[in-house]
Amino acid sequence: MLFVDAVEGYWLERRRDLSRHTIDDYGRTFGRFDAFLGEDRELDSITADDVRAFLNALSDDGLAAKTVANAWIALSALWTWAEGELGAEHVIRNRVKRPRWRRPQIEPYSMDDVRRMLNECDVGPTWRTRSGRRAQSRRRTALRDRALIIVLVDTGIRAQELCDLVVDDYSRQSGQLLIRHGKGDKQRMVFVGDAGQRALWRYMLTRKEAGAQEPLFPTRTGTHLMRDNLRRLIQTIAKRADVQRATVHRFRHTFAVNFLRNGGNVLALQSLLGHEQMETIRLYVRLADVDLEVSQQRASPADHWRL
């Protein structure tokens, strides 16, 4: 059986169990590996050395260490399926070491960072008129961009989760946002505070005719934002606001750390972020531990009961 035929069988069996993000990620890896092999290879002719050479080539091409590790995960998942379904020999397990990558340091945005980015949502870059005067025009997407930034910082949702939102996923009455396809394709609810609800109210007043299944944060042509579109949008706004190292994911860190600093509990944070494991949550706890100590002192049952 050819490698490409095995991939087709894998998708037929496993696609329904995977999130859209995982499908995209695995698909890129399978395509890159097929191109790396350079010819129609039989699955049983592929060796551990082929996989090692592929992972090394990804590193040599400058891909991030986490991307290389994710490629290992995708190929290992394919061979695990092929082993059980086709009786193929697993060329990765216990043979190709999983690439290591160092988790980047968590660096939340400051309140000043977020305020400056919100201010830059309203107007575009400066330009000069024919008479030499400096001028700025209001951005057509100002209300949308302000709303999505506040939603990101107030809920900690992932980039793809925000891009996937439709109008019907937001409840104006409760401030709830339904995440239909979180990591592992699991649903969960998150909640927008008063500032986010006000921003969404202002924005949705401009979209009174929007249908229930239309994107909550559409492009100018009415389609869903893509993750790359969202990344470029945030980086453009951050550059004008002089905010360094801006990423969409930093809003998730910002939400998590400040949720704990403001008295939120760890289990609630785990549920809101959609994490099955506590490893990342513990990182947020360590960042906020000084504030948690203060929160404990404020909320101490023994002190309140004057025991």
Question: pLDDT digits over 236-252, tens only?
Answer: 999 999 999 999 999 99
Q: Which band of pLDDT confidence, cut at 50, 70 and 90, is reported for residue 285?
A: confident
169-181 average pLDDT score: 91
Q: Which band of pLDDT confidence, cut at 50, 70 and 90, is reported for residue 289?
A: low
Give the pLDDT of residue 24: 87
Q: If you search the block for the tokens 């549920």, which residue do you land on? A: 271
223-232 average pLDDT score: 92
Question: Cα torsion at 170, 176, 178, 182 (round to 10°)?
Answer: 130
Give the pLDDT of residue 303: 58
Give the pLDDT of residue 286: 76
38-48 average pLDDT score: 90
CB 48 within 8 A of CB 85: no
Q: Which band of pLDDT confidence, cut at 50, 70 and 90, is reported for residue 299?
A: low
Question: Which of 155, 198, 156, 159 lies closest to 176 in space, CA to CA?
Answer: 155
Give the pLDDT of residue 127: 62
Q: Which residue has the higher pLDDT, 68 or 102?
A: 68
Give the pLDDT of residue 164: 93
Give the range among 21-30, 262-271, 286-295 with minimum mean pLDDT: 286-295
Of the CA atoms within 13 Å of residue 49, those in its CB half-sphere come to 1
C-alpha 82/C-alpha 94 separation (Å) is: 16
Angle between helices 249-261 and 266-273 (to 10 degrees): 160
CB 154 within 8 A of CB 174: no
Share of the chain above pLDDT 90, in %: 57
37: pLDDT strictly greater than 80: yes
185: pLDDT strictly greater than 80: no
Task: State pLDDT tens for residues 88-147.
Answer: 999 999 999 998 877 667 789 999 999 999 999 987 666 666 776 766 667 789 999 999
Give the pLDDT of residue 304: 59
176: pLDDT strictly greater than 60: yes
301: pLDDT strictly greater than 70: no
C-alpha 253/C-alpha 248 separation (Å) is: 10
- Hey, what domains does the chain have and what are their CATH numbers? 3-86 (1.10.150.130), 111-251 (1.10.443.10)
Give the range among 26-35, 52-61, 133-142 with minimum mean pLDDT: 133-142
